[in-house]
Chains A and B, each alone.
Chain A
Amino acid sequence: MSTQQILPELSPASQALVAMHGGVPSGDADWLAALRADALARFGQTGLPTPKLEDWKYTDLKALNGANLVRPVDAPAANFGGQAGHRLCFADGRYVAAASKVDDLPGGVTFLSLSEAFMDMPDVLRSHLETADAGALADLNAAYLDGGAVIIVDGAEVTLALEFLATGEGSQMSAFHPRNIVIVKNGAQLTLLESQGGGGVYFANHVTSIAVEDGGRLNHVKAFNHSSEAFHTSLTQVHIGADGYYGSAVLDTDGKLLRNEIRIELAGEGAETSLAGAYLARGGRHTDHTTRIDHLAANTTSRQIFRGALDGKARAVFQGNIVVAEGADGSDGRLANNTIMLSEGCEIDTKPQLEIYADEVKCAHGSTVGELDDEALFYLRSRGVPETQARAMLVEGFVATVFDEFDSLEGVQQLRDGIADWLAGLEPGA
């Protein structure tokens, strides 16, 4: 007797995302064609994540069902901000060679677009592109692989920039799926400055796969300033070898719905990570920062601090999970999430978690939610600072400290300026 498997009914958005796939590009190598086809098949089984999944309990992509999802049009016009130095630029996820700068790279630095890398180094990419265990959005990303960067730093110390711009126009929502692959070899150091933004309606589904090998160091500075009509999902997966380090400083100030998910594997002894995030939301925006850190080896360290301020009817989600595997003794994990509510109508769901299977560990987590301190507000006003400006100063002081540890890095001042820019739009309090 055979049982017939009943597939979950796919949402309209999920169906559209499957249907718009034009099949495997003709130029693909067999392995790549198979990888894409498998990923699409998996996505066809699951569809987009829904709140039925534990990890997606507080963030619902159902608003995509009402969108007219399309593939991005060719050669969109984009005005790139022009990051100084070496950079790769992408419009709607597709590489724009004319705006990029990749000449005169230092020795030991590979920095090229994904489409070029498919031809140049298929063997390197293969394992990094696999998404079998990474969830539906990663599968969706693998099925399309619209563009992105491949970065390999070997025996060098370098700063590189990635700029993603989207140019949604009209009522159609272009959906695109960039993929970055970053490998920091033994002892190398990379500062990666990534900016994402755009105008209009679009759905940007990014995946970045990072390997920091033994003793390597990567600092990843990300500025999300998406269109207020945009949906953005981002998954960053990081594997860190012995004594390696990954630092992440993220600023998130706009986008109708944003999910920034970071998964870290501290796989080698002495591996370390530090994640800092600031989220600012007003109007009806929804922002979600979700992290998972696996301490897989002994004497590994993780630090996380995410702070935000919410105004209007904004909603924020923070989910932070520290998992210490059996045998990962001497692990040290800390996690803090602090949110200021500036209005009656805003909402935060915060869920810090610890799962500990090792014997000797130091782990701590905590989250706070509160309003601005009345006394501090009066103190500033009594010195002549107008109320709205006083509130902005207090929020800035509260939120921007998450970046203190990263101050020496290029690009961090830009994050601080981004906080000030957002606060310049603060409305007088009720």
Chain B
Amino acid sequence: MLEVKNLSASVDGKEILKGLDLAMGSGEVHAIMGPNGSGKSTLSYVLAGRDGYEVTGGSVTYMGKDLLAMNAETRAAEGVFLAFQYPVEIPGVSSMNFLKTAFNSVRAAKGEEPMDAMDFLKFVREKTKTLDISDEMLKRAVNVGFSGGEKKRNEMLQMAVLNPVLAILDETDSGLDVDALRIVGEGVTGLRTPNNSMLVITHYQRLLDYIVPDFVHVLSGGRIVKSGGKDLALELEANGYAEYSAEAA
């Protein structure tokens, strides 16, 4: 489903990813854990196609296609979704309008007709129930004045609406209290299907109590330095990243 080979990328001329390898199969959940500055967010932006992140080497094959050749909106249409660590505020654009435009853009890219407004409203209401999102929140401008928990729930709602093939969750647990973490964690788990893969990027193990990974990778110094099963996350929680930082250096 996803094959990252020897990927190197730099930001503002500084090399952050240095030969990263990662292979994910359909329906798998992979967790990437690592200390601050190890390249976690860079990896998520490179996969989502953000301008300014220059790929200097390697390849990314997604569903048999060259992911790096696609622009951000094409990746989204092909089923790649990034849940942002810091969801962006968009004044003057209602959450509902944003969702509908995104949803219909992806449909249009696949040559499908847009869903009409009433059907879409019903469709969204099914998704909002489990995420504890009110109609009032949908009327507000995207993320403007939202609490940290509301912003992350809004990300999960977008994910539920767009139903991605590959969801990348970038530090989705940051800024969440225990209750919000549970809502988000259960929300994500509810979106798991045998066909959808998830790449969960996190500093802490706690999110993985809800989203149980099939594989855990340690990212340090711009490379995957260790891979293992879900127990690796617990080990990292207990021992910290010190030994991997040393290894990278």
Contact = CB atoms under 8 A, between A and B. Distances in A.
A383 B103 CA distance: 8
A381 interface: yes
Contacts of A375: 88
B204 interface: no
Nearest to A385: B105
A389 B72 CA distance: 13
A385 B102 contact: yes
Interface in B70-92: 71-73, 75-77, 81-82, 84, 87-92
A380 B87 CA distance: 11
A382 B71 contact: no
A380 B91 CA distance: 13
Nearest to B91: A397
A296 B75 CA distance: 59
Interface stretch (B20-28, B45-53, B123-131, B172-180): B45-53
Interface in A348-379: 373-376, 378-379
Contacts of A378: 50-51, 72, 88
A400 B92 contact: yes
A387 interface: yes
Contact of A385 (B49, B73, B141): B73
Contacts of A385: 73, 101-102, 105
* Residue in A397, A398, A399 whose Cβ sees the most chain B Cβ within 10 Å: A397
A425 interface: no
B11 interface: no
A49 B102 CA distance: 49
Contact of A383 (B50, B51, B102): B102
A383 B49 CA distance: 11
B49 A379 contact: no
B51 A374 contact: yes
Contacts of B52: 374
A108 interface: no
A396 interface: yes
A379 B106 contact: no
Interface in A60-104: none
A401 B105 CA distance: 24
A384 interface: yes
A381 B105 CA distance: 10
B70 to A, nearest CB: 11
Interface in A16-51: none
A393 interface: yes
A383 to B, nearest CB: 4
A397 B141 contact: yes
A384 B76 contact: yes
A386 B90 contact: no
A381 B88 contact: no
A279 to B, nearest CB: 16
B95 to A, nearest CB: 12
B76 A397 contact: no
Contacts, number: 78
A424 interface: no
B108 to A, nearest CB: 9
B202 interface: no
Interface residues of B, number: 31
Given A382-B72, A383-B162, A385-B73, A397 B105 contact: no
B75 to A, nearest CB: 8
Nearest to A381: B72
A105 interface: no
A419 to B, nearest CB: 11
A394 interface: yes
A interface, size bucket: 20 to 34
Contact of B105 (A374, A384, A396): A384
B106 A398 contact: no
Most buried by A among B51, B52, B89, B105: B105
Interface string B93-114: 1000010011101100100000
B92 A397 contact: yes
Given A378-B51, A389-B101, A389-B105, A383 B92 contact: no
Interface in A230-263: none
B38 interface: no
B151 to A, nearest CB: 12
Contacts of B105: 383-386, 389
B249 to A, nearest CB: 31
A380 B89 CA distance: 11
B158 interface: yes
A384 to B, nearest CB: 4
A63 B73 CA distance: 44
Contacts of A373: 88
Contacts of B71: 381, 387
Interface in A285-337: none
B72 A396 contact: no
Contacts of B98: 380, 383, 393
Interface string B39-61: 00000000011111000000000
B49, B84, B88: residue with the most chain A Cβ atoms closer than 10 Å: B88
Contact of B158 (A383, A389, A400): A383
Nearest to B87: A379
B76 to A, nearest CB: 4
Q: Which 3 A-B pairs have the closest CB atoms?
A: A397-B92, A384-B76, A383-B102
21 contacts: A374-B52, A376-B89, A378-B72, A378-B88, A379-B84, A379-B90, A381-B71, A381-B72, A382-B75, A383-B76, A383-B102, A383-B162, A384-B76, A384-B77, A385-B102, A393-B98, A396-B92, A397-B91, A397-B93, A398-B92, A401-B92
Interface of B: 48-52, 71-73, 75-77, 81-82, 84, 87-93, 98, 101-103, 105-106, 109, 141, 158, 162
Given A379-B84, A382-B73, A384-B102, 12 more contacts: A373-B88, A374-B51, A380-B90, A381-B76, A382-B48, A384-B77, A384-B103, A384-B106, A386-B73, A387-B73, A390-B73, A398-B92
